[in-house]
Amino acid sequence: MKFLFDIFPVLLFFISFKLGERNPEIAQSLVDQYLSGFISGGKPVADLAPILMATAIAIIGSALQFSYLVIRRIKIDALLWISFIVIVGFGSATIYFHSETFIKWKPTVIYWCYAIAFLLGQFLFKANLLKATMGTQITLPEDVWFKLSLAWIAYFSLMGILNLYVAFSYPTTTWVNFKLYSVGALPVFIVVQSLFLAKYMEEPT
């Protein structure tokens, strides 16, 4: 359930873009009607209407999610704060400058912020973020926690690079598809990590 909650803005973005791509006239009409006041120059290039519409809807979806957490007084962790700030900041820049470059950079910035958080936690503050999160659920040797931290740093770093490659080497519609499908990479990575940890979870404490 939490996974679906986390990817909700991504699904909104994907569905909105695909609908806008298939109905460019409607997308252009919606952008002209609701976003022209937020766009530098007032009217974007017609080809950008689907991405601008999808970006605006993703921002609204993220804001509603965040509002829900605040109203329910559910603790908002630092990584979720980063995601929210980045999507609002880069999404707003995409709309204002009517340039898809900003929204294409957004996933990479989030991935690299996560990588930096793990990196600084591990090497500067001597605090393993994974151990801080999962330490009450599983007991592992310190060297294993360290290896896991390095694995997450590598994962987020590589995903950031891969996103840039697809975003600026292929058409926007290909990047949007990749953006959705890449969400599945995280569960796969977690499953592989779980297989690695299985032998430690089986050992008696």
Q: What is the per-residue pLDDT across 42-54, written as a single tens digit (0 to 9) for each?
A: 777 779 999 999 9
Q: How far apart are CA 147 and CA 140, in angstroms?
A: 11
Q: Is it the case that residue 89 has pLDDT exceeding 80?
A: yes
184 close to 149: Cβ distance less than 8 angstroms: no
- What's the confidence (pLDDT) of residue 132? 87
Quick one: pLDDT at residue 205? 46
**Residue 4: pLDDT band by 50, 70, 90 thresholds?**
low
Rounded to whole angstroms, how far apart are CA atoms 199 and 186? 21
pLDDT at position 95 is 96
Q: Does the pLDDT value for residue 204 go beyond 90?
A: no
12 within 8 A of 57, measured Cβ to Cβ: yes
Task: Give the pTM.
Answer: 0.90
